[in-house]
Structure 1
């Protein structure tokens, strides 16, 4: 009889203390005893400042020299998950269950050679399947991989989520469960909106968009991988036994009839603080032709990523991350432009598959922000998302206003 796999991924905050690790082990055991085959993915223990967290290990090396080569950085960063995995295997052993640890390489996570931000090329899960046949619960070090010629790599931010999704696809898992320190995906950041509601179910596209726009519950790359094979994701809390949030296909959330989606126009609101708005106006550069092409090509050559782009006959408006503002200004001025800068802005995204084809959504957002006397610096939209840019000091008020306008707490 074929095994029914469930991937269980636990983040660093879920593994920080012995008490938490025993809660994690019990969730793994409960999955095993319910007839499913768990495959566990672990992150490094704790967060920045904790003894075995990835940032702590890196800072130890940076004390010697900040210019740590990427290859060696990956070797060092891989240590955190190995420590975490050994402790989890030992915790399960103490509770009477056989477990076996696999590094990313041993788990068959094959990547390219883009050190510190590698992409998974394929998964060879033979060793995991063999361990399962021998009665072990596999525990896999998240965030890690290996090149075809044996070089250790790491997968960049959110890499353990990506590991879990890739294993879920490779093993044709029933579910990929992502355990965090929150109950599930909220309609907005609960630190800003006190009555933010936990969503029972969202689509892959919605959560991927929310994640891209600042929601930190899961990495968007993991969602995209799971979506390829339509494997449901569940976002759950390590601390409770709640159902959390189910992430699945559009049809399973809304049904096949398009009218069904109209009772949930907006699913959630995400935000990104600390961005800088840059404007290049035609009136400041009347003699320059192909304005947009030259601006964006120059910034690309300087490896500066731009976002929130509006192009009009009057000129350009876009945003960059706050920390690269000075570099962007230098590049633009050296090219002969006169950039107009507005620092400390915030990008707010209202996301919902239900807004497609529904009139008046933008009008409602504008009305909500106008009521609170919040100026919209830029706006744009797609089929499932509306973005607005506001001054950073208005970010929290804006999030609350939009949340209230669409009654997301009900």
Structure 2
């Protein structure tokens, strides 16, 4: 099996942890597996380097300076592996066999990087363990660049993809994906499996497990697993991340209605959304989605449920002194744009809404998540809106 193992900063924070990392790599190699290693800067090193730049450094100088954290880590881990009889080499920008190349826009040059990653995989097949600096890249002129926040995760999953690896193992300071933040909630436990879409949504909303940018490189055939550095085993445990992102533009086939409940400063009134949602649930009415403003909450439901939904919500409005009125609008369609790279691109929402605005298609509402944008338009305009967005994406 071909494995790419990524060790985060806390996993190589000191000599003892570097030794533990080396032991786990050596065990995998001795079990007959091909292993490549991606290493972050030793815990806290990058922050120290950034804090000590008491001057206006150019982007090129900043990249060179912060790269010293990763450059030190790969040398330390390579040395630890050699001490265990493992044939290892460290790879960093500037070396002939460095794999990750960016273009003039700072984006990864896929063709060149893939070819270099395949060369790296050949050395793995010959028993060599490449120890690669995470986070860093190099442009065609040899200038050091970086892959941005979470760049070491991105390095690992990208190379796992381009090397045709069987699995990427993210070694970090959490017990895989947890049901909640163990520092905040009691009884948090490990989640054995989670989909890439679920994790990406959590990552964009603050969960620091795997960088969202890394997940865009995951394919259905590439296994990705998150384990704690204390586990000491690259081959078992942790949380499996399943599936892959699919770029999709689709039109909901059923006609929707929107029901808006108004009330003064609803957003500042705890429990209003819960009470209204419970009212619809008790009536057996499914909510497609909802949106809210300062003084209103809107529910989108199937048109066939619209009259009943309006009736039961009106009953709740009459009973609740916070609420003032309910209104119903039918004939609405929803077009969804979803994709793994959607939120990595600046202006993603504008790219969706712009073509519709240019064609004077009225937009009733826009609801976004970490991986999708839902646009609500008139039912009669649904096919035209779908065609326009397919042309763009």
Aligned to 2:75: 86
In the alignment, structure 2 segments of 5+ residues that lack a partner are: 246-266, 268-289, 297-366, 373-393
SS of the residue corresponding to residue 191 of structure 2 reads coil
1-structure distance, mates of 2:139, 2:178: 37
- Counterpart CA distance in 2 for 1:224 and 1:157 is 14
Question: Once superposed, which parts of structure 1, at least 4 consecutive aligned residues long, lie more than 3 Å away?
Answer: 309-315, 380-385
Matched position secondary structure for 1:125: helix
What's the CA shift for 1:32?
A: 1.1
Please report how far the alpha carbon of residue 113 of structure 1 lies from its aligned counterpart in structure 2 after TM superposition: 4.3
Shift of 1:140: 0.5
Aligned partner of 1:135 in structure 2 is: 127
> Who is 2:88 aligned against?
99
2:155 alignment partner, SS class: helix
Counterpart in the other structure of 2:164: 172
1:45 is matched with 42
Out of 105, 111, 119, which is 2:107 matched to? Answer: 119
CA shift in 2, pair 1:108/1:196, >3 Å:
same
Residues 104, 210 of structure 1: alpha-carbon distance in 2 compared, 3 angstrom cutoff: farther
Provide the residue aligned with 1:24 in structure 2.
21
Distance apart, 1:57 and its partner CA: 1.4
- What is the alpha-carbon root mean square deviation over aligned residues? 2.9
For residues 211 and 48 of structure 2, what CA distance do their matches in structure 1 show? 22
Give the superposition deviation at 1:120. 2.2
Q: Assess, with a 3 A threshold, how the Cα gap between structure 1 residues 312 and 141 changes in structure 2: closer, same or farther.
A: same
Distance 1:25 1:383, change over 3 A: closer
Deviations 1:184-216 (A, max 9, x none): 100111111121110000001111111111000
Identify the residue that residue 222 of structure 2 maps to in structure 1.
231
Deviations 1:303-346 (A, max 9, x none): xxxxxx9676979xxxxxxxxxxxxxxxxxxxxxxxxxxxxxxx
**Match of residue 220, structure 1, among 194, 212, 223:** 212
> What TM-score, normalized by structure 1, do the two folds share?
0.56
Q: 1:288-311: CA deviations, max 9, x gaps?
A: xxxxxxxxxxxxxxxxxxxxx967
What is aligned with 1:8?
5
Change in Cα spacing, 1:85 to 1:178, as seen in structure 2 (3 Å) is same
Runs (5+) with no aligned partner, structure 1: 48-52, 252-278, 280-308, 316-379, 386-410
1:183 aligns with 2:171: no
Matched residue count? 251
Within 2, Cα distance between the matches of 1:310 and 1:203?
A: 25
Which of the pair has more CA radius of gyration? 2
Residue 275 of structure 2 corresponds to residue 248 of structure 1: no
